[in-house]
A and B are shown apart, each in its own frame.
Chain A
Amino acid sequence: MTDRIRPTRAGLFAIELLIAVAVFTLCAAFCGGLFVHAEVMSRDNEELNRAVNEARSVAECFKASGGDLTETAALTGGGVEDDTLLLTLDGGMTLKLAVRQEEGYVAGDLTVTGDGGQLLAWDVAALEGTS
């Protein structure tokens, strides 16, 4: 009745190993979450960067062509449908430039939409008959 179970070195080592594995698993789970979050954020950044660059390029082509949508489409490689320039970008993004004639200039609403919704919306305008 009075016999005690003496802790052996192997037993202590096993307990330490178990605790180490448990702590490391917790730490790895937390850090894995951070890594995944950073990766998602990085992809979103890349998408927004690409959208801004493409939108800037289209806006400058639109301005340089004096508001001519056909010429803008030829320069950017997009298609024209009902006064709207449509351009499919990498990563499943779509760029739309809907134009309307105003007095003395052509105004347009430039939007880029991705999988997660609208990424950006700008007003662009081009003068007619200026040098």
Chain B
Amino acid sequence: MRRGGGQLSGVVSLVMIFCSLCLCVFAVLTFSAADRERTMTEVAARQAAEYYNADSEATARVAQIKQQGLAEGDTAVVNVPVGTEQTLVAEVRQSGGELQILRWQTVFTGDWEKDETLEIWDGN
């Protein structure tokens, strides 16, 4: 016992430190992955909600245009913001006595700046 305990005294600490470190690293990695996944899921849910709320409003406006009536061949465009950076564009045309949907599209309307910070070696 004396001999065994003497030989193993440092090994126990080393193994414990290694196991604890592994456990902590895996736990933190698992938690951070789940947290990132939650952020992504919430963003997807918010974007879907924004889209369908905008789609509903666009439908109501197009129905209003339909009630008011358009001249044959005339077109009307409805723009409804989807969140802060996108717009739902609906374009309709009166054709053959009924309203025809020409376009029902989400377009990016947010501000953006061209990134010119990447410095590439030009060979000189």
Residues in A lying within 8 Å of B, measured CB to CB: 8-10, 12-14, 16-17, 20, 23-24, 27-28, 30-32, 34-35, 37-39, 41-42, 44-45, 48-49, 51-52, 55-56, 59, 63, 102-105, 107, 110, 120-131
Q: Tell me how far the C-beta of A42 lies from the nearest C-beta in chain B, rounded to whole angstroms.
A: 5
Q: Tell me how far the C-beta of B3 lies from the nearest C-beta in chain A, rounded to whole angstroms.
A: 8
CA distance A110 to B41 in the complex (A): 19
Interface of chain A: mostly helix, strand, loop or mixed: helix
Interface of chain B: mostly helix, strand, loop or mixed: helix
- CB neighbours (8 Å) of B48 from chain A are 52, 55-56, 120, 122
B76 contacts partner chain A, Cβ-Cβ < 8 Å: no
Interface contact A49-B44, CB-CB below 8 Å: yes
Task: Please give me the residue from chain B that is nearest to A47 by CB atom.
Answer: B41
- CB neighbours (8 Å) of B24 from chain A are 27, 30-31
Known: A20-B12, A27-B20. A52 touches B44 (CB 8 A): yes
- CB neighbours (8 Å) of A41 from chain B are 31, 34-35, 37-38
Task: Please give me the residue from chain A that is nearest to B96 by CB atom.
Answer: A131
Interface contact B20-A10, CB-CB below 8 Å: no
B109 contacts partner chain A, Cβ-Cβ < 8 Å: no
Interface contact B60-A125, CB-CB below 8 Å: yes
- CB neighbours (8 Å) of A42 from chain B are 34, 37
CA distance A52 to B13 in the complex (A): 49
CA distance A1 to B25 in the complex (A): 52
CA distance A39 to B27 in the complex (A): 11
Interface contact B2-A8, CB-CB below 8 Å: yes
Interface contact A125-B66, CB-CB below 8 Å: no
Interface contact B38-A123, CB-CB below 8 Å: no
Q: Tell me how far the C-beta of B61 lies from the nearest C-beta in chain A, rounded to whole angstroms.
A: 10
